Amino acid sequence: MKLIDGKETAKLIKAEIAKEVAKMIDNDDKNPHLAAVLVGDDPASQTYVSGKEKACKEVGIISSIYRLPFETTEKEVLELVEFLNKDAEIDGFIVQLPLPKHIDENKVIQSISPSKDVDGFHPVNIGRMALNLPSYISATPFGILQLMERYHIETEGKQVVVLGRSHIVGSPMSILLSRKAYPGDATVTLCHSRTKNIKEITKKADILIVALGQKGFVTEDMVKKGAIVIDVGIHRIPSLETKSGFRLVGDVDFENVSKKASMITPVPGGVGPMTIVSLLLNTMKAAKREIYL
């Protein structure tokens, strides 16, 4: 069994980005600039945004964080989005989700200029992705594609099973791997909460991508010997062995499934570290006007 090391891969890609940023600055080109909008004080969102800020600093990308109070109105958020759409200094930006309930997330996402939507959440970017046109691909699916490329995982003609149909992971993942591309050209089955006989389906998978949000859902009896397993889940469980009093586990029973898989992503240190790197890569594409001229 070979471990797919997201932590190490993320480190390598960050070093490449840092080199590229330094070169852009040396050439008097520009310094890539990412902005993030954070509304309210959701602790997980604060942690994510701080992580993004730190990663930008590591590679030399400028980051501006707009922290707004919980009470901010939808109109005020839309006005800030409009300001960022127009600000030539900002190459790309994200609005951290979830937003407070009184703000319509879809309306906010749809107000972001697709050319600055480095989260890849705007319907135009999702549509372009489905049509295999240049687009921003959202962080988790893009991170998984990077891992597949770096580990030379063959996808052409393979049976891929995706568990979970979320708009930000399962659904785009199924579209991406069925495209005529590499990674892609796979035969993809998308399973969800209404799927019957899930085990019969997962047992046929050459590549199993799990993004259901259910701790330890995938057990060894559900996996074919030699399969490649990508675990997107992240759950905190109490632990007496760590200082913090908890540890992280995924949607896959790693201990047992890893004995059967040919390659597997650990949790933590698998898909997770790749997501922020994806955002940095998208910001670089924005700064270089690679997707939208």
Known catalytic residues are 52, 96, 119
Residue closer to ligand GUN, measured from CB, 5 or 119: 119
Considering the complex, state which of residue 198 and residue 234 has its C-beta at the smaller distance from ligand GUN: 234
DSSP of 93-123, one letter per residue?
EEE-SSPPTTS-HHHHHHHS-GGGBTT--SH
The runs of H, that is alpha helices, within 27-138 are 43-59, 74-86, 105-111, 123-130
Q: Which of 56, 61, 80, 94 binds ligand GUN (CB under 6 A)?
A: 94
> Is the CB of 92 or the CB of 155 nearer to ligand GUN?
92
Is-contact 262 228, C-beta < 8 A? yes
State the angle between helix axes of 6-26 and 272-287 in degrees (0 to 180), rounded to the nearest 10: 20
Nearer to ligand GUN by Cβ, of 36 and 210: the residue is 36
**C-alpha–C-alpha distance, residues 40 and 99, integer Å:** 8
The minimum distance between CB 59 and ligand GUN, in angstroms, equals 18
- 102 to 121: interface string for ligand GUN, x by CB under 6 A: -----------------x--
CA distance 189 to 205: 9
Closest among 256, 258, 274 to 266, alpha carbons compared: 258
The Cα 152–Cα 140 span in angstroms is: 18
Does position 232 interact with ligand GUN (CB under 6 A)? The reply is no
96 binds ligand GUN (CB under 6 A): yes
Least distance to ligand GUN, CB of residue 95, Å: 6
Taking CB under 6 A as the criterion, which residues in 130-189 touch ligand GUN?
139
Q: Is 95 in the site for ligand GUN (CB under 6 A)?
A: yes
Q: Is 77 in the site for ligand GUN (CB under 6 A)?
A: no
**CA–CA separation, 154 and 152 (whole Å):** 6
Find the residue with minimal CB distance to ligand GUN. Answer: 97
Chain residues in the site for ligand GUN (CB under 6 A): 94-97, 119, 139
